[in-house]
Amino acid sequence: MEKTEPNRHGTGFTSVKVLPDLWGKKWTDEVGWGYLHSLRPSSVRFAGPGEGVKCDARDWRVTVHLGEGDIVKSITQEVQVGLYGDVENGYDLRCLEREYTRYRDACDENGNMAFVNTRAVSKVNKEELKAVAKTTAIKIQNQDGSLEDTGFRG
């Protein structure tokens, strides 16, 4: 099958998740640096438990997010991407990608969706919300981004 590249109208920047095989494992220099080398990063930074990172995009930089006990929580790399169609920047591309993945799974059979941020609505009783969710087409998104099966089957 052959595909031709559509007209690109520019480039943008975003970050992508990389090296998921290392996530959830203890960081070791031999394995960690060995695989980081394959990404050809311009630089590497580490963020420990509870540490944030500056939004100061650097091409090809890799960020390793470590949890307690040097467990790898995630690894991301800042990348340059092509902009096609209505995509005007890296954030637009990220939103479009999410539309095809996570949000697709959140829709009911009619394409409707609603998210309830349980952190922001901390006064809501989650058990009561689950009871309502069993009779209506809503999904509960947990703090880790996963969607909770509420038992609603239409």
Tens-digit pLDDT profile for residues 16-39: 899 999 999 999 999 999 999 999
Say yes or no to pLDDT of 104 above 60: no
Q: What is the percentage of the chain residues whose pLDDT exceeds 90?
A: 32
Q: What is the pTM (predicted TM-score) of this model?
A: 0.60
d(CA 90, CA 8): 13
Phi-psi group of 111: left, alpha or beta (phi > 0 → left; psi -120 to 50 → alpha; rest → beta):
left
Q: Are residues 29 and 87 in the same domain?
A: yes
Residue 63 confidence (pLDDT): 94
User: Does residue 89 lie in a domain region?
Assistant: yes
Confidence of residue 7 (pLDDT cuts 50, 70, 90): confident
Cα torsion 33, 47, 101, 86 to 10°: value is -100
Q: Are residues 127 and 72 in the same domain?
A: no
d(CA 126, CA 122): 9
Q: Are residues 95 and 113 in the same domain?
A: no
Q: Are residues 84 and 125 in the same domain?
A: no
Q: Which domain holds residue 92?
A: 10-100
Q: Are residues 86 and 112 in the same domain?
A: no
In total, how many domains does the chain have? 2
